[in-house]
Structure 1
Amino acid sequence: MTLPLNLTGAFYPTYKGLNPTFSADTFACAEQTVRELLETATTSDHPGMLLGKVQSGKTRTFISTLALAFDNGYDIAIVLSKNSKALIEQTAKRLNSEFAHFVSDGELEIYDIMHAPESFGAFELDSKLIFVAKKQSDNLRRLIELFSEKCPAMAQRRVLIIDDEADNASIGYSKKDGLIEAKKIATQISDLRSAISQTSFLQVTATPYSLYLQPSEIEVENVTTFKPTRPKFTALVPVPSAYVGGDTYFGEAARSQEDTLESLLHHTLDHNEFTRLKKEDRRSFNKEDVLTTPAVKGFRHAIVTFIVGGCIQRINGVRDGQKEKKLRYSFLLHSEAGREAHDWQEVLAITLKKKLIEAAKTDAPILRELIQVSYDDLRRSLQLAGSSVPSLEEVFDAARNAITGDHISITKVNSDDDVAAMLDNSGQLRLRSPLHIFIGGQVIDRGVTLASLIGFYYGRRPNRYQQDTVLQHSRMYGYRRPDLAVTRFYTSPAIRHAMFQMEEFDTSLRAAIESGGDHGVQFIRSGGNGQIVPCSPNKILVATTQTLRPFRRVLPIGFQSGYRTGANGIGATIEALDVSLSELCGFNTDEPTLVPLETALDLLSRTEPTLQFDEDDAPPFEWEAARAILRHLANLHSDPDQRGQVWLWAARDRNSARMASESSHATYIETPDSEKTEGRLTRTHAIDHPILFLLRQDGTTEKGWRGTPFYWPLIRAQRNTPTAIYTAEIIS
């Protein structure tokens, strides 16, 4: 039976009226959530779920949910937040700001549990209460004591527990100590629930991966399809068109070889620059040469482009009638966790600012050169977006005035205390000047928001990328559409490749959850005998995943071809492949040829020694993984008699370049194939069998190769491919 919701109570209608900019979808989501909470028994094992995206408005949705819950029988809310002083202060500030009207009327009190009274009297319990607590042992112990010992009357009230950033609560999947601590927190949350007579449990997360993690004490054997550990219900936080997220930064449009707004966001860095930003090394460069040295070219370009982009937005904003003082923009440099590195980066940024001031005051040509390069870069995306493009002279004057007028702030943020001191009343980092550069580590992480972020220099290189960690470092996500044309993201090819992989991974899991019903996702890995075997999602190492879905491309990029002759010459191998392919399928034919899986695997393996991955920043290509994926795809046919076969098609006289163009966001060419030829063949023929393309390149020196032909292999999944997550490496 559907219970009627009270939509006319003391809290919800007033809260809606105070927030006219919130979308109808946000309030509809809140209403759906409260209706589900009232009708469904939820626990920490089987919670209700609010699934959003990073910085997509999850907090405004759960606060709207809270307001409605208070009108529908809930007396107390407990908001559990990440174990971070800064984030707990941010959460408390946000709640106090959102509910200020009710707090001033005495209808509601909000407490940090560590600063809450020891007990509460009957008069106090007549008001609604919100407790904010860290997911940390002492905080949870205080909560348990309050409800079970100090104020037993409170335990008789109806309580809503909201686990914010739920993916961080009980998932620690590489450190044994972390896992033990996580279990302890989960146990305390369970104890808290047991102390209260009527509780509902709502998790709020942006990482659907967390839903797939199985309880660690359960061993799952011989199962390839894992269904999410189903919440009792999932409410999807609405994502308006103004939101900019992973699909913008790492979706198909961002891969385009043509200019798109999304592809122009990306600026490729030399990975060696990260080392130079780790600590001062005068053998590498002298900081006094920061305006001209090639050693930190990317860093310099990022800062100057931020200044130019901010000035363009300020010029356009004033023309549109906005108040000049309100037009403030931020830039984030996050490449290292260590404080020593932050100190050096701060010194370097301050030195760069000083040198820019000197250049501006002396009319040094270098300043115009730097601004011109950044202006030309941003003009391309502004024109694509249909935005107004101020003249170069106008932008140059504005940038020079910003530099000499002390409109640029540089702030190092490397502790919870730093963050807490810088938060404004809305819980965002305060921008003290029109152009504010933040330098920091992971403390500027989950939940901390930077307003008007238009530049992000990202160089964190964890040995083992974890999905929720890297997603939460993505501070450039959020409601940033108006600034997108002047926004730039700076990182190395290898990190960008990993982030593209993660976005595919995230999108596939989210799609399975959003489709509802019984949809699952396969988690697979290679067994010791080369066979594909099931893999517990707990073991997935995200950076080594390949997301398999219909028509997915698997190919090496960033390699160099071998030499024709010499000790490791490839000439004879290529000639032998020419003969084999002539006999098997011919070249540039109208249709592919169906061949046994073992034949396709042999051809793929014969190309392996002809391609060399010499560059440190080349995205890694796992040949063993490629073979395992081809095996997996070839054995998906619904008819067992048709399994173990692969379509094969070969081309010759191709002439792809090795490196992408200067203006491209990519370093290396990533598309030796075309949708017109290989794409059409795939869509027409690869229905139940995968297809292997072998594209014979001329390999000329003019195109960046070594003057000898080679084969570029490319696997494409068939149309009838169930979503699967393949991992090349597992966590032991």
Structure 2
Amino acid sequence: MTLKMNGDYFNALNNRNQYNQQEIQAMHDTVSNLMTISTTEHKPGILLGRIQSGKTRSFMGSIALGFDNGFEVVIILTKNSNALARQTYERLRQEFEVLMADDQVIAYDIMQLPQDLRQFELKKRIVIVAKKEKKNVERLTHALFNQYPSLANKQMMIIDDEADYASVVYEKDRDKNLTELKVIATQLDDIKRRVPTAAYLQVTATPYSLYLQPDSETLHARGYQPKRPAFTVLVPTFDAYVGGKFYFEQSKLNHPASYVYQPITDTELEILRKEDKRRAKPDYLLTSKNFIGLRAALINFIVGGNIRNLQQQHAGERLKKYAFIMHTITTKKAHMWQYELVQMIEQRLKILLQTDESAFQQLIKSSYTQFKQSTKAHYFPGIDDVYEAVKATFEEETLLITIVNSEQDVNQLLNHAGELNLRAPLNFFIGGQILDRGITIGNLIGFYYGRDPKKFQQDTVLQHSRMYGARPQEDLYVTRFYTTPRIYDVMERMHAFDEDLRYAFETGRNEGEVIFMMHDAHKDIVPCNPNKLLLSKVMTVKGKKRFLPVGFQTKRKTEMTSRMKQIDQQIESLRRYAIQQNANDNRHILVPVVRVIPILEEIMATLVMEEGYEWQIETYTSLLNYLSRLSANHTGYVWVITRDNRNISRYRQDGIRFADRPDNGQDELKQSYQYGTTHPTVMLLRQNGDIAQGWRGAPFYWPVIVAQTKLTTIVFEG
């Protein structure tokens, strides 16, 4: 679709932000898709970015471009967080400052929406920010359908920021044993249904619950609406972005990133979760093995921040303030205990400086030496200058230790730009959930992470990763990341899983279906809260795993005759398309997947599933299509192995359970493992279907799909 790309609204934001061509293309694709592809409350578009990678920048630009191309009202839904709602609103005011000054755009938080907007105001482009919270959504509903009903009739864009939060959640009502959408999600759906002309855009970096929703037929049958996206646009990653590649890939190379990760012990984490003064005696805080990680974290933060300030001073630049985050648990009691511990370590360092300066100096020198090894900066200050700066930190109290949690007034937490306020030169933040998802924390050079459940939810852990985002190269040289080896390993695997998802979109591998890498040998990662996938048919696919229909009967003999003749001809014709086959046995051929899928569809049309059994052909052909493109050159081929004259009984020996092993482990299954190392296999087993075996006296094919042997475990929802 041809869009107006030089309108007043988009030009105003482009002049302010100087978007590059990739960003402009993403904004164009987003708005174009919203205008040409039908997006509904159960089929929205999605803007997919990495954690803190510029998603807000991208959808703000898309709003402006949308205003130039017919959109009049934009609703931005944020996570249920005062801080994030405030951050979004402040960002909106900054981005549209010129347009708002020219009376072309007005913007409101829904809770401050005036009761007396006049017609001349309602004719402007309007942006409303609302938290995904019950009262906010109720106020939004009232504004759109009672207070200012003309808004609901305008061309509207609804942007669901952090879309996997509170937009798709299922929970079980124990009394009624029913599955119900949570209240907020239901309220949002009601708004979307009542504005049928609106375009819907979901924005997130953790889309797992969105893509893993069941199809519409499954949910409609149970009275629910699916949430799977109608299209996906990737947010381009800017040059200054630092993400998992730095922490988990470059760290394995001869690179400054190799110094970033600092392991901590499980014992240390355990002590930090609950007050235990027996193991945290002040006199031993600087020497106890129980606090090696926390002690190093505080010292390294002070030394690193001062190194950067000295470098800025040397370059004639304005001195920056720096931040450190400690996020291990959500309870407020634990935050108070950790606050007390960090303060005690700070006090013991002050005492050491006064009573044994040589010992204090040795601690600082050790940290300095590590930073010097990890830096490639053009200028690195000498130890004497750094030491004097560190001493000044303690003497002038330029280190601020702060608890950040939901008890505090958001106005005390955020600065005028809506970001976490850095009050002092060095800011050591201790907190929980409020430090995750969406909150921007500037100049972060230290992250102490200790959330350690038995099973890690990938979307939650990635949203906790506040160390991702725009970071100057010089800051990276003094950045440190503290966590246990187990958590680091989990986060490393999550990074690999997430990159595979993005690569699938970049290469076009995700066409019609979306996959997620998940469980490996550790079995300790799930894509998201299971309540978000309760109704979804999600499959774990491992190498050599078999997929086949079970619990069926064939159609009547009279109908089967003509159908089988056609299927036999289709299978015979496959040999014309073989690019590889066994020279001595033409029952093993490698053929294009597009030639096999129609045969599977024809075969399934001959089978009738018994009540309580199902085998959705669309799901399994999507899976086969995906598996066929996982080879190194994404070829789209599958091995087909055929056998005939089989006489398997419809039931197992007990006469009760349906048979589920039509394949011979010493013959065709063994061959599928041998041939299907990098490509999947489809076994087409021609059964005689004798009445004595429980069938209807007509031959039929029993298909079996086998995943290739060299397959990293994935989670698939087609």
Partner residue, 2:58: 61
1:294 correspondence with 2:295: no
Counterpart-to-counterpart distance in 2, 1:333 and 1:347 = 13
Q: How big is the alpha-carbon RMSD for the aligned residues of Structure 1 and Structure 2? A: 3.7
What residue in structure 2 maps to residue 594 of structure 1?
none
Aligned to 2:204: 205
SS of the residue 1:411 aligns to: strand
Tell me the residue number matched to 2:646. none
Provide the secondary structure at the position in 1 that maps to 2:35.
helix
SS of alignment partner, residue 77 of structure 1:
strand
- Matched residues in 2 for 1:55 and 1:522: separation? 21
Secondary structure of the 2:418 match is coil
Q: 1:633-652 alignment to 2 at 5 Å?
A: 638=639, 640=641, 643-644=669-670
- Give the whole-Å Cα distance in 1 for the aligned partners of 2:484 and 2:154: 53
Q: Distance in 2 between matches of 1:243 and 1:389?
A: 23
| Corresponding residue for residue 213 of structure 2 | 214
Q: CA deviation at 1:425?
A: 1.9
CA drift at 1:459: 0.7
User: What is the distance in 1 between the residues matched to 2:532 and 2:79?
Assistant: 21
Distance 1:289 1:524 in 2: 42
Q: Taking structure 2 as the reference length, what is the TM-score of the superposition?
A: 0.70
User: Is residue 237 of structure 2 the alignment partner of residue 239 of structure 1?
Assistant: yes
C-alpha contact (below 8 Å) 2:405/2:434 kept by paired residues = yes
Deviation at 1:476, TM superposition (A): 0.3
- Do residues 476 (structure 1) and 467 (structure 2) align? yes
Q: CA distance change for structure 1 residues 283 and 466 in 2, over 3 Å: closer, same or farther?
A: same
User: Are residue 309 (structure 1) and residue 304 (structure 2) matched?
Assistant: yes
Q: Matches of 1:7 and 1:18 in 2, distance apart? A: 15
> Contact 1:360/1:404 (CA < 8 Å) preserved in 2?
no
> CA–CA distance in 2 between the matches of 1:175 and 1:376?
55
In structure 1, what is the equivalent of residue 39 of structure 2?
42
Q: Which amino acid in the other structure matches residue 349 of structure 2?
A: L
- Describe the shift of the 1:503–1:172 C-alpha distance in structure 2 as closer, same or farther (beyond 3 A): farther
Preserved contact between residue 102 and residue 108 of structure 1 (Cα < 8 Å): yes
Q: Check conservation: 2:9, 2:67, Cα contact below 8 A.
A: yes
Superposition deviation, residue 371 in structure 1:
1.3
**Is residue 505 of structure 1 aligned with residue 503 of structure 2?**
no
Q: Quickly say closer, same or farther: Cα 1:638–1:280, change in 2 above 3 A.
A: same
Q: Structure 2 matches for 1:573-588, cutoff 5 A?
A: none
Who is 1:435 aligned against? 426
State whether structure 2 residue 404 is matched by structure 1 residue 405.
Answer: no
Aligned residue number for residue 634 of structure 2:
none
Partner of 1:464: 455
- Asked whether 1:339 is paired with 2:337, we answer no
- 2:170–2:182: 8 Å Cα contact kept in structure 1? no
Q: Is the 8 A contact 2:160 2:202 kept in 1?
A: yes
Would the alpha carbon gap of residues 84 and 358 (structure 1) be closer, same or farther in structure 2, given more than 3 Å must change? Answer: same
Asked if 1:392 corresponds to 2:383, the answer is yes
Residues 289-315 of structure 1 deviation map (CA, whole Å, 9 limit, x = unaligned): 322222211100011011111111111
Q: Equivalents in 2 of 1:135, 1:431: separation in Å?
A: 27
**Relative to 1, partners in 2 of residues 1:230 and 1:153: Cα closer, same or farther, differing over 3 Å?**
closer
User: Aligned runs of 1:327-366 on 2, under 5 Å?
Assistant: 327-362=320-355, 364-366=357-359
TM-score (norm 1): 0.69
State the Cα distance separating 1:209 from its structure 2 match.
Answer: 1.6
1:515 has 2:513 as partner: no
1:647, 1:538 → 2: CA distance?
35
Shift of 1:491: 0.4
Match of 1:270 in 2: 265
Q: In the TM superposition, what is the alpha-carbon distance from 1:230 to its structure 2 partner? A: 5.3
Instruction: Give the CA deviation at 1:446.
Output: 0.8
Q: Which amino acid aligns with 1:70?
A: F
Distance change (3 Å), C-alpha of 1:86 and 1:282: same
Q: Which amino acid aligns with 2:3?
A: L
In 2, the alpha carbon distance for the partners of 1:719 and 1:317 equals 55
From 75, 88, 92, give the equivalent of 1:91.
88
SS of equivalent to 2:470? coil
The question of whether the paired residues in 2 share the 8 Å contact of 1:637 and 1:643 is answered with no
1:154 CA displacement: 1.8
Mapped to 1, the partners of 2:126 and 2:384 lie a distance apart of 57
Distance 1:427 1:199 in 2: 28
**CA shift for structure 1 position 637:** 8.2
1:134-153 to 2 correspondences below 5 Å = 134-153=131-150
C-alpha distance after superposition, 1:353-392 (max 9, x if no partner): 2222233344522212211221222222214xx5533222
Question: 1: distance between equivalents of 2:120 and 2:42?
Answer: 34
CA gap 1:42/1:428 in 2 versus in 1, 3 angstroms: same
In structure 2, the partner of 1:81 is 78
Supply the distance in 1 between the matched residues of 2:67 and 2:51 (Cα, whole angstroms): 27
Distance 1:362 1:547, change over 3 A: farther
2:655 maps to none
Report the counterpart of residue 495 of structure 1 in structure 2. Answer: 487
- 8 Å contact kept, 2:325–2:446: yes
Match of 1:109 in 2: 106
CA deviations over 1:70-110 (Å, ceiling 9, x no partner):
12111111000111122111111111222222222222221
How many Å separate the matches in 2 of 1:195 and 1:316?
57
Between the two proteins, the alignment pairs up a number of residues equal to: 554
Change (3 A) 1:216 1:371: farther
1:370-418 per-residue CA deviation (whole Å, 9 max, x = no partner) reads 11221222222214xx553322222222212222221111111111634
| Other-structure match for 1:130 | 127
Q: C-alpha separation between the residues in 2 aligned to 1:478 and 1:643?
A: 48
Q: Indicate the SS of the match to 1:443.
A: helix
Residues 52 and 236 in structure 1, CA contact (< 8 A), matched pair in contact too: yes
- Please report how far the alpha carbon of residue 467 of structure 1 lies from its aligned counterpart in structure 2 after TM superposition: 1.4
The answer to whether structure 1 residue 446 and structure 2 residue 437 are counterparts is yes
Contact 1:156–1:197 (CA under 8 A) maintained in structure 2: no
* Contact 1:416 1:443 (C-alpha < 8 Å) held by counterparts: no
Deviation at 1:189, TM superposition (A): 2.2
Query: In 2, distance between residues paired with 1:197 and 1:390?
Result: 62
Deviation digits for residues 14-36 of structure 1 (CA, Å, limit 9, x no counterpart): 2211223x433223321221222
- In the TM superposition, 1:694-705 aligns within 5 A as none
Cα pair distance change 1:64/1:643, threshold 3 Å: same
The CA deviation at 1:495 is: 1.1
C-alpha contact 2:678 2:711 (8 A) present in aligned 1 = no
Matches of 1:391 and 1:176, distance apart in 2: 64
In 2: Cα distance, 1:404 partner to 1:6 partner = 59
Whole-angstrom CA distance in 2 between matches of 1:46 and 1:212:
11
The letter for the 2-side match of 1:245 is G
**Secondary structure of the structure 2 residue equivalent to 1:352:** helix
Q: Percent identity?
A: 39
Q: Which residue does the alignment assign to 2:3?
A: 5
User: 2:5 & 2:514 partners in 1: Cα distance?
Assistant: 36
Change in Cα spacing, 1:646 to 1:287, as seen in structure 2 (3 Å) is farther
Report how far residue 187 of structure 1 moved: 2.9
Kept in 1: contact 2:497–2:517 (CA 8 A): no
Instruction: After TM superposition, give the deviation of residue 337 of structure 1 in Å.
Output: 0.9
The answer as to whether partners of 2:44 and 2:227 remain within 8 angstroms in 1 is no
> 1:104, 1:89 → 2: CA distance?
20
Which protein is bigger by CA-based radius of gyration?
2
**8 Å contact kept, 1:288–1:351:** no
